[in-house]
Amino acid sequence: MVAKRLSEIRERVSAAAGRVGRRPSEVTLVAVSKGHPADAILEAYDAGQRDFGENRAAELAAKAPGLPQDIRWHFIGSLQTRQAKIARPHTHLLHSLDRVRLANSWVTEEGAPPVLLQVNVAGETQKHGAEPAQVEELLAHADEIGLACRGLMVIPPFAATPEDSRKWFAILSEIRDGLLATHPHLTDLSMGMTDDFEVAIEEGATIIRVGRAIFEASGDPTTID
């Protein structure tokens, strides 16, 4: 069933990209595997999936060593500074950099995996993410300490319909576009989940994070898949 659902998601990705003149290859599908066992991940892996998302450092550290080493693990949840050393060795891309202290904890003398800056575009007090006005300052600090930032990430407010999320994706895209002249390396936009990834693709997403539509509900109340 996982393979079948993956195939269906890929078809929807292709259709959404085609509607706005984009190539499906421009969009990376991250299968959000948080809360799911190794056999489910391996079923997706056998269907050709290589990018997977986790949101807890301990769970990622427990899973990764026993699974194929060519998996690209994306850390997509809020990360405490003390957990950085647990998640970092297994992470291909950190989606949730949102403050200077985390940037400092993520970097080591040997370097660190690249990051995306999480932006709280709606100013929701219950959500993590830098305010839009803080993005340039955080980017400057990342550059100063040698941390590669590849783009921006957003988790929009709860929406009754996918279309209701469009404005938040458009805002993130506008923020990124406004920074490209001085930060040309900001090529990625991580936005869109199970309920709204097609709208996100239409607004320029290069990375989508899809969990429930691939693995079924995990019972985790966080809204990052």
Quote the pTM value.
0.94
- Does any domain span residue 223? no
- Does any domain span residue 183? yes
Residue 117, sorted as left (phi over 0), alpha (psi -120 to 50) or beta, turns out to be beta
Question: What CATH number did the domain enclosing 86 receive?
Answer: 3.20.20.10
Tokens found for residue 87: 């998640």
Alpha helices of the chain — where are they, by DSSP H?
Answer: 2-19, 38-46, 57-63, 84-87, 100-106, 135-144, 166-179, 197-202, 212-215
- Does any domain span residue 222? no
- Does any domain span residue 83? yes
For the chain, 225 residues long, give each residue's pLDDT as a single digit of tens. Answer: 999 999 999 999 999 999 999 999 999 999 999 999 999 999 999 999 999 999 999 999 999 999 999 999 999 999 999 999 999 999 999 999 999 999 999 999 888 999 999 999 988 888 899 999 999 999 999 999 999 999 999 999 999 999 999 999 999 999 999 999 999 999 999 999 999 999 999 999 999 999 999 998 444 444 456
Report how far apart, in Å, the C-alpha atoms of 67 and of each of 2, 6, 62, 92 are: 17, 19, 10, 15
- Does any domain span residue 221? no
Q: Helix 2-19 crosses helix 38-46 at what angle (to 10 degrees)?
A: 50
Query: Residues in the chain, how many?
Result: 225
- Does any domain span residue 98? yes
What pLDDT shows up at residue 125? 80
**In terms of residue numbers, what domain contains 20?**
2-215
Q: For residue 199, count CB atoms less than 10 angstroms from its CB and return exposed for 0-12, middle for 13-18, buried for 19 or more.
A: buried
Q: What's the domain count of the chain?
A: 1
- Does any domain span residue 225? no
Q: Helix 166-179 crosses helix 135-144 at what angle (to 10 degrees)?
A: 50
Q: Are 153 and 169 in contact (CB under 8 A)?
A: no
- Does any domain span residue 159? yes
